[in-house]
Amino acid sequence: MPWALSKDLLRRLTSTLVLMVSIALGGALMGSALTGSEAAAAPISPAPQLPTPPDVPKALSARDHAIGIPAAASVASGTWVLGNGERMPLARTVVTLPAAAGTPLLADWNGDGLATPGRYEDGRWFVTNATVGAQEWQSLATFGKAGELPVTGDVDGDARLDLGTFRSGQWSWKLSGGGTRSETFGDVGDLPVVGDWDGDGQDDAGVWRGGTWILRVFRVTGDKVRYAGPGVQVQRISGTDAALLTFSLGTRKDLPVVGDWDGNGRTDPGFIRGASRWMLSSGLRNVQRTTEVGFVVSSGFSPLVGSVPTPRGSCPTATVQALDRGAALAVQVQQPQRVRGAIGIPGMREVRATVQDGVRYVMTNDLLTRLRNRVTMPYYDSLATAKTVEESIRRPANAAQAAAIIATTSDWNRVNGISRSQLVDYARWHVRSIACQHGANTPGGWGNSFQSALWATVTGQAAWMLWADLTPGERALVASMVAAEADAVVKRGPLYFRDRVGKEGTPGDSRADENSWNLLAPALALAMMPDDPRAGQWRASLASIAIAAFARPSDLRSTAVVNGVTLGKSLPGTNANEDGTVTNHGIVNPDYTQNVQHLWWAASLLRSGRQVVPAALFLNADIVYRALAVVQFPSPPYAAPGGTVYKPLGVIYYPMGVGWGVRRPATFTGVDGFANIYAAADAKAGEFLAAHARDARALQLRFNDGRMYQSGTSEESYRLGKEEYALSQMALAWWAGAIKKGPSMTVTNEAIPGISLAPR
């Protein structure tokens, strides 16, 4: 019997639900009248061309020295804007911190090679070691006084950052190894500059005096300095091995900047003219030879210099250590079996057409509207594209996944004016940008959080299917992201809605969805990297969470053994109702029952990777799907008209209310695609697949640009990328059809060492 409902809740829901269902029925009937065959598709105009970004070189070794990059910051707004290095003059990374007071700074506070935000306020130093997504300031030290200018550098040569202050020629340093140092160099009105002018690994002081530079260097013999050209005057300091290097560069209206612009280990001078012209010197050998770089310093912002230690053209916010780890992982990756979509399956012609036109829409929307200011950026700073991390990451991940699936499983030559190479470049652009800013690669990046295992899997699957098209650098970023999310899921363990006596730990919200999307990460990691030393942990985690994901009350009494675990003895709780329905938003919710597709999705990933599939991935899956296709909901007590969730002509009936929208045929096409492989025949998944695919296509045919939904929330209330989500679901259905006709599968119920059903 379906889950019992309170009479009060039913009374409140029934009147509105009757109207909702009738609206949904009318919409579907009208929509299905529009469709007939693929030839009836509305004309879709071609997508614009995506600029091809530079490739990451094959060598992933670290630079000998970090490259200096333009940057700017406003402490008052808490915003740091960093350029992204060579070949990427238009790229930007934005780090947002709590608004504060003081002088903005950029420095490598922890020695990982990346300069990150800091601030100095009346003798107090605050920093973050994150290159994206920092949430708070960390107190670093107390040193200096109000009115002094903060400076940083390695002045004692121990490869660790020292903190300093400057005021009217007086320098004070707090050394990282302990102790302090004071000296006099410069005059009133000078601005301090610090750098490794001679490339000896130790920073030295300098001052800017209205266009005149005076740099102090040590260990000088004779009257000449080999790295100083004709434009630099050398003056020995009597009785020492030091010399002053004096030259003119810029005017008193300009501002000085210093950085290792060419990565040769020597700090070079430069100046900023106006709000955007950065004139960067080639070095002291030819100090007047400058390169102009455009980087806007907005009103209220101060110019700064950051650093990029990673190889040219690679993720600008990643550490070298992260890329090295990723490169070692990437060589382990085994490519998936090649599969082809099967248009002979009823509904698949509509699915393919919907994906093709949907890809055209999201590409055009991204390139001309949503991300129009970033299309020339090889890494477009994903986390700064929207207010929420979910929209910033999940939305482009869904688009990339759909593009990758259709590019690799269909005969895509040129569709809607888009070539296969353009389609692949578009997917790669999203993949590398998303993976670049994952916390496994970028300090402070996204990941190891609610739903991040799903986003990483969607992105990772796109990359895996395009593995042969990716550069080594892109592969390294993806491999690190996938492995890190799998490891995080291992630590997270299973989650439960009700305990053994039926008490709800999360009232009204099953943990089935979290479990089912979490298990995707270890499934993908295992499929991609089956020989990794952590493979056993990933397999055990996958099986553990799969058993818990849709566990039912009767499983608590069951003697069944699944991959070595006796359910009744080991399960501490449940997530599905006895009839297979799933409770979420306080109601029996078809939108969350649909998440059973994650079990079959995980099985298909393993199947594609030639890996044995644990029987745990099929526990209760068919029963949960039957809650959509077979289980009856009588009215009353449920809303009229009652019956099954799946209705004729692709209509979806919501027995207790709508969770996200009244027009979500794509969502159910996705689960139907997998059910058509794995569900029992009497569930008639193939018939529902065809009906929902046709309804989704009918929605899309209302427009001539490939979109599926009207604006607003009347049809679909998911605000963080509903077109991309629907497209992803349709693409998964297409891929499921390819898996059905593709590789064979071996399922094992043998014991898997390390399974633990206990919550953590």
Single out the residue of 326, 440, 329, 457 nearest to residue 393, CA to CA: 457
**Looking at the domain assignment, is residue 343 inside a domain?**
yes
Both 663 and 722 in one domain: the answer is: yes
Both 469 and 398 in one domain: the answer is: yes
Please state the separation of Cα 82 from the chain's center in Å: 19
What is the spatial distance between Cα 50 and Cα 393, in angstroms, rounded to a whole number? 20
What is the spatial distance between Cα 41 and Cα 711, in angstroms, rounded to a whole number? 21
Both 263 and 303 in one domain: the answer is: yes
Please count the residues of the chain. Answer: 760
**Is the bond preceding 636 in cis, omega lying within 30 degrees of 0?**
yes
Both 203 and 100 in one domain: the answer is: yes
Both 210 and 259 in one domain: the answer is: yes
Name the 3-class secondary structure at 94.
strand
Distance (Å) of CA 659 to CA 31, 634, 654, 716 = 22, 20, 9, 10
DSSP label of 446: B
Name the 3-class secondary structure at 290.
strand
Determine the pLDDT at residue 310.
83
- List Cβ neighbours of 703 (8 Å cut-off, separation of 6 or more): 42
Single out the residue of 360, 345, 354, 415 nearest to residue 694, CA to CA: 354
**Looking at the domain assignment, is residue 753 inside a domain?**
no
Q: Assess contact for 378 and 91: CB atoms under 8 A.
A: yes
> At residue 408, what are phi and psi to the nearest 5 degrees?
-100, -10
What is the spatial distance between Cα 296 and Cα 429, in angstroms, rounded to a whole number? 24
Q: How many CA atoms lie within 13 A of 414 on its CB side?
A: 7
Q: 3: part of which helix (H) or strand (E)?
A: none
Higher pLDDT, 37 or 529: 529
What is the spatial distance between Cα 109 and Cα 289, in angstroms, rounded to a whole number? 32
**Looking at the domain assignment, is residue 736 inside a domain?**
yes
Both 234 and 282 in one domain: the answer is: yes
With 50 as the cut, is the pLDDT of residue 53 above it? no
Give the pLDDT mean for 677-694. Answer: 97
Total count of domains within the chain: 2
What is the spatial distance between Cα 343 and Cα 351, in angstroms, rounded to a whole number? 9
**Looking at the domain assignment, is residue 324 inside a domain?**
no
Give the pLDDT mean for 724-744. Answer: 96
Per-residue pLDDT band for 309 (boundaries 50, 70, 90) equals confident
Determine the pLDDT at residue 223.
77
Determine the pLDDT at residue 59.
34
Q: 350: part of which helix (H) or strand (E)?
A: helix 348-365
* Domain end marker among 286, 308, 330: 308
What angle do the packed helices 348-365 and 665-678 form, to 10 degrees?
140
With 80 as the cut, is the pLDDT of residue 26 above it? no
Q: Assess contact for 639 and 21: CB atoms under 8 A.
A: yes
What is the spatial distance between Cα 736 and Cα 730, in angstroms, rounded to a whole number? 10
Higher pLDDT, 227 or 549: 549
* CA-angle at 11, arms to 7 and 13, nearest 5°: 115
Determine the pLDDT at residue 40.
39
Higher pLDDT, 459 or 67: 459
**Looking at the domain assignment, is residue 703 inside a domain?**
yes
**pLDDT cut 90: percent of the chain above it:** 79
Both 29 and 94 in one domain: the answer is: no
1-14 tens-digit pLDDT: 333 333 333 333 33
What is the spatial distance between Cα 188 and Cα 317, in angstroms, rounded to a whole number? 38
Both 276 and 380 in one domain: the answer is: no
Determine the pLDDT at residue 574.
98
Give the pLDDT mean for 465-480. Answer: 95
Determine the pLDDT at residue 417.
84
- List Cβ neighbours of 417 (8 Å cut-off, separation of 6 or more): 45, 46, 47, 360
Determine the pLDDT at residue 29.
30
With 80 as the cut, is the pLDDT of residue 517 above it? yes
Beta-bridge mates of residue 71: 82, 304
Both 296 and 361 in one domain: the answer is: no
**Looking at the domain assignment, is residue 156 inside a domain?**
yes
What is the spatial distance between Cα 467 and Cα 427, in angstroms, rounded to a whole number? 11
Distance (Å) of CA 96 to CA 122, 305, 387, 430 = 22, 17, 11, 22
Give the pLDDT mean for 596-607. Answer: 98
340-390 tens-digit pLDDT: 999 999 999 999 999 999 999 999 899 888 998 888 788 899 999 999 999
Higher pLDDT, 66 or 708: 708
Give the pLDDT mean for 259-283. Answer: 93
**pLDDT cut 70: percent of the chain above it:** 91
Q: 406: part of which helix (H) or strand (E)?
A: helix 389-409
Cα Rg, the chain, nearest whole Å: 30
**Looking at the domain assignment, is residue 655 inside a domain?**
yes
397-454 tens-digit pLDDT: 999 999 999 999 999 988 888 889 989 999 999 999 999 999 999 999 999 999 999 9
195-236 tens-digit pLDDT: 999 999 999 999 999 999 999 999 888 778 889 998 999 999
Instruction: Provide long-range contacts, Cβ within 8 A and 24+ apart, for 366-374.
Output: 366/396, 366/399, 366/426, 367/47, 367/48, 367/50, 368/48
Q: Return mean pLDDT, the chain.
A: 90
Determine the pLDDT at residue 416.
87
Distance (Å) of CA 742 to CA 296, 613, 678, 717 = 53, 15, 14, 36
- The position carrying tokens 């057409």 is 353
Give the CATH number, domain containing residue 375.
1.50.10.10
What is the spatial distance between Cα 445 and Cα 487, in angstroms, rounded to a whole number? 16
Both 39 and 74 in one domain: the answer is: no
Distance (Å) of CA 70 to CA 84, 270, 298, 571 = 8, 11, 13, 56
Range of the structural domain that residue 529 is part of: 7-43+339-748
Q: Assess contact for 10 and 635: CB atoms under 8 A.
A: no
Determine the pLDDT at residue 55.
40
Per-residue pLDDT band for 280 (boundaries 50, 70, 90) equals very high
Amino acid identity of 78?
Answer: G
Greatest CA span in the chain, whole angstroms? 100
Please state the separation of Cα 77 from the chain's center in Å: 25
> At residue 428, what are phi and psi to the nearest 5 degrees?
-65, -40
**Looking at the domain assignment, is residue 205 inside a domain?**
yes
What is the spatial distance between Cα 378 and Cα 444, in angstroms, rounded to a whole number? 20
Both 239 and 369 in one domain: the answer is: no
- The position carrying tokens 């003056």 is 235
Determine the pLDDT at residue 43.
52
With 80 as the cut, is the pLDDT of residue 567 above it? yes
254-268 tens-digit pLDDT: 999 999 998 889 999
With 90 as the cut, is the pLDDT of residue 313 above it? no
62-104 tens-digit pLDDT: 456 788 999 999 999 999 999 876 555 556 789 999 999 999 9
Give the pLDDT mean for 711-728. Answer: 95
Give the CATH number, domain containing residue 273.
2.120.10
With 90 as the cut, is the pLDDT of residue 145 above it? yes
Q: Is the pTM for the entire model greater than 0.85? A: yes
Per-residue pLDDT band for 47 (boundaries 50, 70, 90) equals low
Both 211 and 269 in one domain: the answer is: yes
Single out the residue of 335, 189, 193, 207 nearest to residue 267, CA to CA: 193
Q: Assess contact for 757 and 494: CB atoms under 8 A.
A: yes
631-675 tens-digit pLDDT: 999 999 999 999 999 999 999 999 998 888 889 999 999 999 999
Determine the pLDDT at residue 24.
36
